[in-house]
Amino acid sequence: MGRLKTFTRRAFLIGSTAVAGGVAFGAYAVGKPHANPLLDGLGDNEAALTPYVRIDGDGVTLITPRADKGQGAYSVQAALIAEELDVELDQIKVDPGPPAPAYWNRAFAEEGAAFMAPGDGIANWMTHGALSAAIKTMGMQVTGGSTTVPDGFVKLRQAGAAARETLKLAAAQKTGVAAGELKTQAGQVMLPDGTSIPYSDLATIAADIEPPQDTALRDPSEWRLIGKPMQRVDIVPKSTGTLNYGVDYKIDGMVHATIVLNPAQIGPMNSFDASEALKMRGIKAVVPVTGGVGVVANNTWRAFQAARAIEFDWGPAPFPAAMEDHWQALAESFNDDAIDSRKRDDGNVEHAFAETAGLISAEFRAPYLAHAPLEPISAIVRIDEDGAEIWTGTQIPRFIQNNVGKITGLDPDQVKVHVLYMGGSFGHRLEDEVVKQATEIAMQMKGTPVKLTYSREEDMVHDFPRQIAMARMRGSVRDGKVEAYDLGISMPSVVASQMARQGLSVPGPDSMIVAGAWDQPFAIPNLRVTGYRAPELAPISSWRAVGASSNGFFYNAGLDELIHAAGADPLEERLRLCNIPEARKALEAVAEMSGWDGVLGDGRGRGVALTQSFGVHCAEVIEVTNTDAGIKIDKAYVAAEVGTVIDPVNFDNLVKGGVIFGLGHAMNCEITYTDGIADQDNFHVFEGMRMHQCPVIEVRGLENGSRTLGIGEPPVPPAAPALAAAIFAATGIRLREMPFHKFVDFA
Amino acid sequence: MKTTTIAAILSAALFALSPSAATAETGSGGVVNEFADGSVTREEGLTNWQTYYEVASHPRCSNCHVGASNQPMWTGPSYGASLGKARPHGMNVNAGESRIGVETLMCSTCHTTLSGPDPDANAEPHAAPRVAGAWQLAPVEAEWFGKSSSYVCNQLRDPERNGDRSIREVAEHLDHDVILHWAWNPGGGREPAPHSLQMAMDALMKWAAAGTPCPAE
Amino acid sequence: MKISVNGQTRDVDVEPDMPLLWVLRDELGITGVKYGCGIAQCGACTVHVDGLAVRSCQLRVGDLDGEVTTIEGLGTPDALHAVQAAWIEHQVAQCGYCQSGQIMAAAALLDTNDNPSDDDIDAVMSANLCRCGTYPRIREAIKSAATSLRSV
């Protein structure tokens, strides 16, 4: 732990190396400063002022290494840098930058979005072999776990401040005016006489200046950008069809490829016959890849067509053929030998149960779910003798360098990765199978850029879905209050499945099995939360909110059954039990926003849920009406505690989107397997929410907490249980399994 | 653009509302076989009606023979069969009183119009079916979805509710309407309507020859 | 064959059964029109043919009869269509991948109904899928665009 604290205190390390007329100095929190990756390729009159700021004659480019999957990460990162650098958002360009250790995600490692629970010290994990190696060697340049804001909130402002002060020193050198008398504004250094020098004119001088290391960050009262509505940097191109997503990207000489994989997930290909496909117009080659073939053509559609003309002999999937066997494996894992963690054991649930006459019990289920971002996954790969170049939308560029290195025999440093805009992800692009497959194809046609585009069907069927999960609860009530709650959750380990694909084995318990359940802000006198690790079934991956996406439903739905048995009001009893002030304020906020005053009646119902995930306490109230056409979701009220709302517009958009995402999947989405083959292959059977089903959503960002937190994931977990509770209130139907459309219709 | 657009929509709508010109007319190669009045017994007539009702009530046909809700239905293994029930067409689709979506979303937005007959045009599973004519709902009077044999039988023999057609004209309509032909060649792994177009036409004509008997409720 | 796209006549040498979507994207390099599902379930590929919204993944180029307008032909960053301007004003997009289709569907709606009710919006826009969940902003942006179009 001590070592890490040292890193943190030294969080503002500066390295300075003059290269080709430019300079780089940086702010990054690691033991040994990682090289500033921007120094490679700097031209004359260019300066890389920290790994996050690059200045040339044309202006200022801010490097935003957390990938933008649509959550506005580029804009938020740019705003944090610009706040201190004193540039306006319409003056700068953003660039995700190259994969580099300098861009490692400290919050990801510390908060352990995907790897551990808050409270586990990073030192414990740093000393563990595999993950430690991963963090060190890969730099953990990962986008995920709602960590872009917590990771960057201080670091990026420090980078902006360091660059600003250096530019002032450069201006002082150029003009002879003392740096203390200089001010900065809108991309210029302002001199006392009223004249100004654009930053771009100072790059060459700045290159030779040792940057100051101890610039204090501005007081929040001085913020120009943070907390105020901003125009996203990508909003004009995204509204005019002019943004190049990964799937739109073109490289000269590029061929269009698609893939056919064994429909039985990760099953082997025994043989194939492409003779008919090869006769089709525009088809250049059909080549084997791991688990299937790549079809190379001069047009994506021609590749799709030819893919259907190939005959295959497939092997079986290496997991149970029937869905009931998946559920059976989860059910059988509720035993002491399979206990993965018991992180909460307050009071004594067994004593409480021995004294109650009315033990309450229930079982809950959450299905596999596809990520299904609207842009299907794609990658362009060109392999040359001395290097590889990759263009793709990804959350894990450093893993890609490593994996392409392994396939090609190249050194990872010879693998250049360009991170492109992504049409959504929801965790899908934390996997890099598409890049590995494109690399396998490109290895068979060296020198030719190969663009591999998945069809929607291949994308959905071969997604590594959200974990399947089951929960069993027992509980008791006394005197109108919840007395005891024993919640067991069984699921396979997402982390184990995901990291195994990167060749890593992660020791110890997987806190995702109990995330969103063990650490909730309710002081139930007797409370036990146990995670049971089910055997690996179908391969699974991180899906928006990961463990909490299923467990937020389990925890709240179980609690609701107890509150109902106690005859208490779902919101009042949660408030009574709540023992964290920030969580209480979130509950009070949704109570006020919704005018909560008990039952609605007349075929209407309301439900409430609160889940703490990724440190954010997010409360939601959902109101529904039971109509002739089915359940209509009328309103949603959301309050989330994030410390500081950086951009209220983007915050509002992300929260609403998270609620819609949570509701839509709870309503009607699941992935089921028959003989290892996903039964759902497109949006006709994986519908999600549509415009006419979308409730009016009111959002409130709360800023009572001391930590600034991300909002990409936390609105998702409470949506399903609040909906289930509202439907129960309106219809008397208790929903214990998602998706709910198996039991009720939706209008 | 606006004027042109509206004109296009209106002309499409008028086209659709005229029953005889509902879609591009292309004979299927079927034959309207004549059966003399009285040559078919009432019992045989009822049997032939049942044959026709098996066609009419099949989802391939009845999904678009819906009532005043103007909402087409989805039925089939991929559209809710796992839930054991039919359901309205996804995406909140409603064809409006025009039955082609003029007031809402034109059916042809997704169900595009072929430039000519093509038996292979609907090979793509789950894509929007298309024919060489404007995709649309059947007239509201011809509500078949979920309706009993007796109800559909009485509707079909009632000129007030069958477009003022003789049964022969109904049979000719079957022969001419390319959407109906699609029902027997739906492509994409969809289950076709039972029997065949010719059998359906013959069943209608025999039913007519028997005096259009209808089963009791 | 010759097709007319965004006011230009383009010559393409393709099979008549290639969907217009892929002619635009891979043959003509017009990538504002997006591939999302290929089966008319998502609407990301929506273009106008003679002003009417059409899913270009469902329209075989050989069946095309009319002038095609894509998002690039609707308006540009320097000359925005009212719907695009409203999309920017309301900052509708998250990932933005569906938004070309949403904008084209909304523009077609407003072309025939300059004051759509919530039900009118639901009737048209429910056929366009947004996985990020930007529906509330889409609704507001359509209303803003309607207001500005009515004032023209």
Residue A527 pLDDT greater than 60, yes or no? yes
The rounded distance, in Å, linking the Cα atoms of A698 and A727 is: 19
Asked if residue C101 and residue C60 are part of one domain, the reply reads: no
What tens-digit pLDDT sequence spans chain B (217 residues)?
444 444 455 444 444 444 333 444 455 668 899 999 989 999 999 999 999 999 999 999 999 999 999 999 998 655 544 455 788 999 999 999 999 999 999 999 999 999 999 999 999 999 999 999 999 999 999 999 999 999 999 999 999 999 999 999 999 999 888 999 999 999 999 999 999 999 999 999 999 999 999 999 8
Residue among C45, C46, C110, C111 with most chain B CBs within 10 A, to mutate: C111
Q: Which chain C residue has the Cα nearest residue B115?
A: C63
Which of C21, C42, C52 would you mutate first to test chain B, the one with the most B CBs within 10 A? C52
Summarize pLDDT for A367-381 with one digit per residue, the tens: 999 999 999 999 999
Question: What whole-number distance in Å separates Cα of residue A83 and Cα of residue B134?
Answer: 57
d(CA A125, CA A464): 25
Q: How far is C115 from chain A (nearest CA, A)?
A: 18
Residues in contact with B91: Cβ distance below 8 Å, sequence separation at least 6, in sequence order: A690, C41, C126, C127
Domain A2-240 has CATH 3.30.365.10: yes
Domain that residue B11 falls in: 2-18+33-209
Query: Which residues in chain A are closer than 8 Å to B88, comparing Cβ atoms?
Result: 629
Give yes or no for residue A29 having a pLDDT over 60.
no
pLDDT at A14 over 50: no
Mean pLDDT of A614-630: 97
Angle at B175 between CA B174 and CA B177, to 5 degrees: 65
Q: Chains meeting B at 3+ CB pairs closer than 8 A?
A: A, C
Q: Of B92, B93, B124, which is closest to C39 when you measure between CB atoms?
A: B124
Could you tell me which residue, A165 or B20, shows the higher pLDDT? A165
How far lies A712's CA from each of A36, A76, A103, A408, A546, in Å?
29, 12, 20, 35, 12
Please, which residues 219-278 of chain A have a Cβ atom closer than 8 Å to chain C? 231-232, 234-245, 247-248, 250, 256
Helices (H), A30-185: 73-85, 106-107, 122-126, 129-138, 148-175
User: Residue A177 — φ and ψ, nearest 5°?
Assistant: -80, 140
Q: How confident is the model at residue A500 (pLDDT cuts 50, 70, 90)?
A: very high
Shortest CA gap A660–chain B (Å) = 16
Residue pLDDT, tens place only, A608-619? 999 999 999 999
Query: Is the pLDDT assigned to residue A52 strictly greater than 50?
Result: yes
Facing B78 at nearest CB: one of A685, A693, A742: A685
Predicted confidence at residue A5, as pLDDT, reads 25
State the total domains in chain C: 2
Question: What per-residue confidence (pLDDT) applies to A13?
Answer: 22
| pLDDT score of A56 | 76
Average pLDDT over residues A248-264: 98
- CB spacing of A70 vs C96 below 8 angstroms: yes
DSSP secondary-structure letter at A245? B
Q: Do domains A2-240 and A323-369+465-742 have the same CATH topology?
A: yes
Is C119 exposed, middle or buried (CB count within 10 Å of its CB: 0-12, 13-18, 19+)? exposed
A308: buried, middle or exposed (CB in 10 Å: 19+, 13-18, 0-12)? middle
Q: At what angle do helices C82-89 and C135-150 cross, to 10 degrees?
A: 130
When CB atoms are compared, the residue of A235, A374, A657 closest to C36 is: A374
Six-digit token pair at A380?
Answer: 């362009």
Rounded to whole angstroms, the Cα distance separating A428 from A546 reads: 12
Q: Are C5 and C73 in contact (CB under 8 A)?
A: yes
d(CA A110, CA A142): 13
User: The sheet that has A481-491: what strands, in order across it?
Assistant: A339-346, A526-533, A481-491, A469-478, A360-366
Residue B28 maps to a domain: no
- Could you count the other beta carbons within 10 Å of the beta carbon of residue B191? 12
Which of the 8 DSSP states describes residue A315?
A: P
CB-based contact B92 A691, cutoff 8 Å: yes
**C49 lies in the same domain as C96:** no
pLDDT of residue A106: 62
CB contact set of A669 (below 8 Å; sequence gap of 6+): A367, A369, A370, A686, A687, A688, A739
**A594-623 mean pLDDT:** 96
- Chain C: residues touching B (Cβ < 8 Å): 17, 38-41, 46, 50-55, 58-60, 62-63, 65, 108, 111-112, 120, 122-124, 126-127
> Which H helix or E strand runs over A269?
strand A269-273
Name the residue among C17, C51, C54 with its Cβ closest to that of B1: C51
From B91, which residue of chain A is nearest by alpha-carbon distance?
Answer: A690
Taking only the tens place, the pLDDT of each residue in C55-85 is: 999 999 999 999 999 999 999 999 999 999 9
Q: What percent of chain C has pLDDT over 90?
A: 99
Task: Tell whether the model's pLDDT for residue A96 goes beyond 60.
Answer: yes
Q: How confident is the model at residue A23 (pLDDT cuts 50, 70, 90)?
A: very low
Domain boundary residue, one of C20, C42, C74:
C74
Q: In chain C, whose CA is at the least distance from the CA of B121?
A: C17
Nearest-CA residue of chain A relative to B128?
A684
Of B2, B92, B110, the CB nearest to C55: B110
Closest CA to C98 of A647, A657, A680: A657
Position B106: which residue type? M
Nearest-CA residue of chain C relative to B103?
A: C120
Residue A16: CB atoms within 10 A of its CB come to: 15
CB spacing of C31 vs A248 below 8 angstroms: yes
B 136-195 near A (Cβ less than 8 A): none
What residue segments make up the domains of chain A, in order of their start? Answer: 2-240, 246-316+377-453, 323-369+465-742
Q: Is A173 on the interface with C (CB under 8 A)?
A: no
From residue B67, how far is each of A553, B1, B99, B145 by CA, in Å? 39, 34, 10, 8
**Token pair for B58:** 């099949």
pLDDT for res A422: 96
A246-316+377-453 CATH, one of 3.40.140.10, 3.30.365.10, 3.40.50.700, 3.40.630.40: 3.30.365.10
CB A438 within 8 A of CB A381: yes
Pairing of strands A481-491, A526-533: parallel
- B121 is a domain residue: yes
Q: Per the CB < 8 Å rule, is B126 touching A741? A: no
- CB contacts, 8 Å: C29 with chain A: 250
B177 in helix, strand or coil? strand
Bridge-partner residues for A641, per DSSP?
A: A617, A702
Q: How many residues does chain C have?
A: 152
Residue (of A576, A579, A572) closest to A596 by Cα position: A572
Interface test with C, best of A691, A696, A698, A711 (most C CBs within 10 A): A691
* Interchain contact A629–C (C-beta under 8 A): no
Lowest mean pLDDT among A39-48, A161-170, A495-504, A554-563: A39-48
- CATH number, residue C24: 3.10.20.30
Quick check: A492 and A540 in contact, CB under 8 A? yes
* Residue-wise DSSP of B119-143: TTTT-STTSPP-BSB---PPPTT--
Partners of A702 in the β-ladder: A641
pLDDT at A39 over 90: no
Residues of chain A neighbouring C37 (CB-CB closer than 8 A): 456, 682-683
Count the neighbouring beta carbons within 10 Å of the beta carbon of residue B185.
15
CB contact, 8 Å: B43 with chain C?
A: no
For residue range A274-315, list pLDDT tens digits in order.
999 999 999 999 999 999 999 999 999 999 999 999 999 999
Residue-level pLDDT at B86: 83
Residue A537: C-alpha distances to residues A267, A324, A470, A533 (Å) = 13, 12, 14, 11
**CA dihedral defined by A304, A308, A309, A314, rounded to 10 degrees?**
130
Q: Do A684 and B83 touch (CB under 8 A)?
A: no
Among residues C123, C131, C150, the alpha carbon closest in space to that of C139 is found at C123
**Which among C44, C71, C75 is the nearest to A374, CB-wise?**
C44
Quick check: A132 pLDDT over 70?
Answer: no
Pairing type for strands A696-702 and A604-613 reads unpaired
User: Which range is least confidently modeled, A58-67, A424-433, A447-456, B157-166?
Assistant: A58-67
Asked if B79 lies within 8 A of A692 by C-beta distance, the reply is no
Does residue A168 contact residue A161 with C-beta atoms inside 8 Å? no
Q: Please state the rounded mean pLDDT for residues A522-549.
A: 97
> Residues C69, C101: one domain?
no
Split into its structural domains, chain B has a count of 1
Write down the pLDDT at residue B29: 66
CATH classification at residue C102 = 1.10.150.120
Q: Could you tell me which residues are beta bridge partners of residue A697?
A: A636
Whether residue C111 is found in the same domain as residue C49: no
User: Chains A and C: how many Cβ contacts under 8 Å?
Assistant: 185
pLDDT at A45: 67
Q: Which domain holds residue C22?
A: 2-74
Half-sphere exposure of A113 (CA within 13 A, CB side): 31
Q: Which of residues 471-500 of A touch C (CB under 8 A)?
A: none
Nearest 5°: phi and psi at A317? -70, 145
A659 close to A620: Cβ distance less than 8 angstroms: yes
In what order do the strands lie in the sheet containing C8-11? C8-11, C2-5, C67-69, C46-49, C52-55
- Residue A155: per-residue pLDDT: 86
Q: Which residues of chain A does B91 touch, with a Cβ-Cβ cutoff of 8 Å?
A: 690
Query: Same structural domain for residues C97 and C34?
Result: no
Chain B interface includes A308 (CB < 8 A) = no
Candidates A629, A684, A691; nearest CB to B90: A684
Cross-strand partners of A287: A294
Per-residue pLDDT, A100: 73
Domain limit, last residue, from C74, C96, C122: C74
**Structural element, H or E, at residue A258:** strand A255-261
Q: Tally the residues of chain B.
A: 217
Distance between CA atoms of residues A651 and A195, nearest Å: 38
Say whether residue A653 is in contact with chain C using an 8 A CB cutoff. Answer: yes
User: Closest chain C residue to A376 measured between Cα atoms?
Assistant: C36
Tens-digit pLDDT profile for residues A333-364: 999 999 999 999 999 999 999 999 899 999 99
pLDDT of residue A62: 86
Choose among A238, A374, A649: nearest Cβ to C42: A374
Per-residue DSSP letters for B31-85? ------TTSS-HHHHHHHHHHHHHHHTSHHHHTT---TT---EE-STTTTGGGTS
Strand partners, A698: A637
Tell whether omega for the bond before A739 is within 30 degrees of 0, i.e. cis.
Answer: yes
Residue A420 contacts residue A248 (beta carbons within 8 Å)? no
Residues C31 and C88 reside in one and the same domain? no
| Cβ separation A684–B126 shorter than 8 A | yes
Whether the Cβ atoms of residue A620 and residue A738 lie closer than 8 Å to each other: no
> Can you name the CATH fold of A323-369+465-742?
Aldehyde Oxidoreductase; domain 4 (3.30.365)
User: Is the separation of the CB atoms in A452 and A386 below 8 Å?
Assistant: no
Decide if pLDDT at A6 tops 50: no
Beta strand pairing status for A469-478 and A450-453?
Answer: unpaired
Does residue A126 belong to the interface with chain B, where contact is any CB pair within 8 Å? no
Task: Based on DSSP, count helices (H) and strands (E) in chain A, helices before strands.
Answer: 21, 27
Integer-rounded Cα Rg, in Å, for chain A is 27
A424 pLDDT more than 70: yes
C46 with C96, same domain: the answer is no
For chain A, give the mean pLDDT.
89
* Mean pLDDT to the nearest integer, A263-272: 97
Which of B63, B75, B78, B89 would you mutate first to test chain A, the one with the most A CBs within 10 A? B78
Is residue B136 in a domain? yes
pLDDT higher at A717 or A13: A717
Question: Span A249-269, mean pLDDT?
Answer: 97
What pLDDT, on a 0 to 100 scale, did the predictor assign at position A108?
60
Name every chain C residue with its beta carbon within 8 A of the beta carbon of B126. 39, 41
- Please report, rounded to a whole number, the percentage of residues in chain A having pLDDT higher than 70: 89
Chosen from C20, C63, C114, C119 to mutate, greatest number of chain B CBs within 10 A: C63
Contacts of C127 in chain B (CB under 8 A): 91-93, 105, 109-110
Are the beta carbons of B127 and B188 closer than 8 angstroms? yes
DSSP string, C44-79: TTEEEETTEEEETTT-BGGG--SEEE-HHHH-BTTB
Q: What pLDDT does residue B25 have?
A: 46
